[in-house]
Structure 1
Amino acid sequence: MDYYDVIIVGAGPAGATLARALEGAGKQVLIIDKAEFPRDKTCAGWVTPAVLASLDIDANEYGNGRTLQPIRRFRIGMMGQDAVENNHGEVVSYGIRRCEFDDYLLGRVSCTKQLGTPVKSITRDSGNWVINEQWQAPLLVGAGGHFCPVARQLGNGPGKHETVVAAKEVEFEMTPEQARACEARGDTPELWFCRDLKGYAWVFRKGSYLNIGLGREDNHRLTDHLEAFVEDMKQAGRIPADLPGRFKGHAYLLYAHADRPLLDDGVLLIGDAAGLAYTQSGEGIRPAIESALMAAKVIQEAPDYSAVSLQPYGEQIAARFGNRASEQEHGFDLPEWLKQPIASTLMRSHWFTRKVVTEKWFLHQQVPPLDVAV
């Protein structure tokens, strides 16, 4: 049986970031993922300059041979109303394809990798975690997304107060004919809020690729909302009339309403496995990266891997992202006053859609890049 200091389950952005930080500190790390890389990962997919800074990624270098769509504007509206377009006057984010981005991050990691390897068993033996009866380590990190097997190991079933957001989306490379018919612009992602404010849809062009999707808290009506939105966008000419393939579904937890634990003796959860998606937007890449960097620092400084020694990780998560909300609250974390009909009026406002929706809720420009040295 092979022994490691840390085993990470999940090779996405959170797992790859943690593995790179730990191997840089001299830890023997094994990273396991059920998929081979590069793998298909449908995602609206944008990263802010803060994410690139935290990952020490040079945009020019990354964009050589990969999709990196500069974003300078946003087009925002409420379904059934005209959209408002705001020009930020500079690049405020970048569109990426997750199949490329995740593979790039994993490619920077030189530790042992077991890809195309499902986790079939997790057991405890003499203070170590044993995975698939083949690999063992005193510390196990769950980075495998919403359905991470390590999260299940912590006793987490569907939490009774957890708000699970369900989303469906499709990403495809447009033909020249489709590209000419598509009025959506690459530097201007479109966000369309459902009239009941329980979700939003998007149209995001990234070079020759187009991503269309919708996420809501009520899964049972997701398909109805999506089909209506897609038809409206086709009629308006925002997207091509002939969309290929099926829309793929996925789920995630909103941070303020997830009640799964972050740690226990010898185990940590990071990224979507911990339920860290921003409550206002559902965006999960930045929280995944930052949680991995915070976990790496705590792991390096911990005298052992007991829950007491790992507790600073939970404290840093709360300090960075806030405390979890009370059980009475649910859904996207929109202010109580943002209800119909005032929401319809505000979504027509250039100031509100720019300063609140885009810069605060989606880009988090008020939050500086994470300084893990602090």
Structure 2
Amino acid sequence: MDYYDLIIVGAGPAGSTLAHALQDSGKRILVIDKQDFPRDKTCAGWVTPAVMDSLDIDINHYGTGRTLQPIRRFRIGMMGQSAVENDHGEIVSYGIRRCEFDAFLLDRTAVPKQLNTPVKSIVRRDGNWVINDTWEAPLIVGAGGHFCPVAKLMGDGPGSHEVVVAAKEVEFEMTPQQAEVCEARGDTPELWFCRDLKGYAWVFRKGNFLNIGLGREDNHKLTEHLNAFVEEMKSEGRIPADLPGKFKGHAYLLYAHAERQLADDGLLLIGDSAGLAYTQSGEGIRPAIESALMAADIIRDQEDYSAQALQAYGEAIASRFGNRAMPQDEGWQVPDWVKMPLASTLMRSHWFTRKVVTEKWFLHQQVPPLATVSQG
């Protein structure tokens, strides 16, 4: 049996950030993931400057040999209407490929890693947790996404009424012919809201890579909405007519609708396993990074991993992201006041699409970056 102080299940941005923040803490840490890296990850793939600042990533260094698409504009519209384009006058975000971004974060983490290793069992034994009858630790952190096996140990949320968002996307490198006819521009991602405001689609070009997808709260209509959107974009020349491969799916919880417990005796959840995606946009990378840094701050000098001792983590999450509240009418990412006939008009407004949709909901420019947690 191999003993550690902390085992992190999931090597994505949340898990690797936690390991990186604690790698000089003196704690023995193991990172486990069911996949090898680099690996494909279903995600539109953009990060804000706040994320890069919190991760202490040098933009020039990261952009050498990797995709790093500066974003200065957004095209936003409602399906069936013309789009509004807003120029922010500066770089407000970066397009990345998750296969590169996640591998970069993991590679810089100097702790033992057990990759290509599914978690088959987690049992409680003498006050510790034992994974696959092989690795033992008093604390396990779940960072394995929506279906994380550590999250399953926590059980369903209080009311078990969690609204699960389902999304499908495809990312591929365009041929020269496809790139020539594609109207989408690299510095201008396109966001297209469903007319019922229960989801949105995107067209995101990163150099010669193109990412197309759609996310909704009602999974049974997802493919129908996606197919209609793709055909509309093809007919308008926004995307090439010949898309390769199949769209891949994933699921996640929105913060305001999630009911998952964040901590228990010897257990703690970060990132998508905790259901932290921003309610208005569905973005999960920044909340994942910040939750990992907050968890590291709690764990670094902690030897008591009881539920009571770990309660400070839940308080930190609530302080940063607000208190969770299940609304009576479970909408997806837009407030009730937008869900009116006024929505069609608002989506034609340069002020609303820029100041509210882009800068507030998607970029969270009103929220300063979380300071990088000291590693010493």
Q: TM-score surpassing 0.5?
A: yes
Q: Is the 8 A contact 1:302 1:310 kept in 2?
A: no
What is aligned with 2:96?
96
Give 1:14's aligned residue.
14
User: Hey, what does 2:113 align to over in structure 1?
Assistant: 113
TM-score, normalised on structure 2? 0.97
Q: How big is the shift at 1:329?
A: 4.2
Q: Deviations over 1:308-355 (max 9, x none)?
A: 111110000001001111352423242222123200000000000000
Moved over 6 A (4+): none
In the TM superposition, residue 65 of structure 1 has moved relative to its aligned partner by: 0.1
Q: Which amino acid aligns with 1:319?
A: S
Map of 1:254 onto structure 2: 254
Distance 2:158 2:213 in 1: 24
Deviation digits for residues 181-229 of structure 1, max 9, x if unmatched?
A: 1000000000000000000000000011000000000000000100000
2:335 maps to 335
Q: How does 1:140-219 map to 2 (within 5 A)?
A: 140-156=140-156, 160-219=160-219
> 1:52 aligns to what?
52
Give per-residue Cα distances to partners, 1:131-159, cap 9 Å, x unaligned.
00000000000000000000001123796
The unaligned stretches of length 5 or more in structure 1 are none
Structure 2: how far apart are the matches of 1:327 and 1:109?
39
1:71–1:92 CA contact under 8 A, matched in 2: yes
The worse-fitting range, judged by mean Cα deviation, of 258-267 and 300-309 is: 300-309
Counterpart CA distance in 2 for 1:138 and 1:331 is 39
Q: Distance in 2 between matches of 1:75 and 1:24?
A: 43
Query: Matched residues in 1 for 2:72 and 2:327: separation?
Result: 38
- Residue of structure 1 in register with 2:123 after alignment: 123
Output the CA distance in 2 between the equivalents of 1:328 and 1:157: 16
| Match in the other structure for 2:242 | 242
Over aligned residues, Cα RMSD in angstroms? 1.3
Cα distance between partner residues in 1 of 2:294 and 2:243: 41
- Name the aligned partner's letter for residue 87 of structure 2: N
Paired residue for 1:349? 349
AA at the equivalent of 2:248: K
Pick closer, same or farther for the CA change 1:338–1:157 going to 2, 3 Å. closer
What SS does the aligned partner of 2:310 have?
helix
CA distance in 2, matches of 1:260, 1:164: 12
* Cα deviation, residue 372, structure 1: 5.6
> Which stretch of structure 1 is more off in the superposition, 157-166 or 18-27?
157-166
Question: What number of residue pairs does the alignment pair up?
Answer: 374
Whether the 8 Å contact between 1:167 and 1:214 is mirrored in structure 2 is yes
Matched-pair contact (CA < 8 Å) for 2:157–2:261: no
- Contact 1:170–1:212 (CA under 8 A) maintained in structure 2: yes
Gaps of 5+ in 2: none
The percentage of counterpart residues that share the same residue type is: 78
Cα 1:158/1:218, change in 2 over 3 Å? farther
Distance 1:68 1:373, change over 3 A: closer
8 Å CA contact retained: 2:264, 2:306: yes
Preserved contact between residue 71 and residue 92 of structure 2 (Cα < 8 Å): yes
Does the 8 Å CA contact 1:166/1:222 hold for their aligned counterparts?
Answer: yes
Instruction: Give the match's secondary structure for 1:116.
Output: coil
How far apart in 1 are the matches of 2:333 and 2:249?
Answer: 22
- Please give the alpha-carbon distance, in whole angstroms, between the structure 1 residues aligned to 2:46 and 2:157: 30
Contact 2:191–2:201 (CA under 8 A) maintained in structure 1: yes
Greater mean alpha carbon deviation, residues 55-64 or residues 328-337: 328-337
Structure 2 residue 225 is the aligned partner of structure 1 residue 225: yes
Separation in structure 2 between the aligned mates of residue 155 and residue 189 of structure 1, nearest angstrom: 38
Q: TM-score, normalised by structure 1?
A: 0.98
Whether 1:284 and 2:280 are equivalent positions in the alignment is: no
> In structure 2, do the counterparts of structure 1 residues 359 and 248 end up closer, same or farther at CA, with 3 Å as the change threshold?
same
- The CA distance in 1 between the partners of 2:283 and 2:373, in whole Å, is 25
Q: 2-side partners of 1:170 and 1:114: how far apart?
A: 28
8 Å Cα contact 1:159/1:260 also seen in 2: no
Inter-partner Cα distance in structure 1 for 2:160 and 2:65: 45
Q: Distance in 1 between matches of 2:57 and 2:147?
A: 29
1:78 and 1:327 map into 2 onto residues whose CA distance is: 24
Could you tell me how far apart the structure 2 residues matched to 1:214 and 1:303 are?
43
SS at 2:75 equivalent? strand
* More deviation, 67-76/39-48: 39-48
User: How far does residue 57 in structure 1 lie from its aligned partner after superposition?
Assistant: 0.1
Q: Which amino acid aligns with 1:84?
A: V
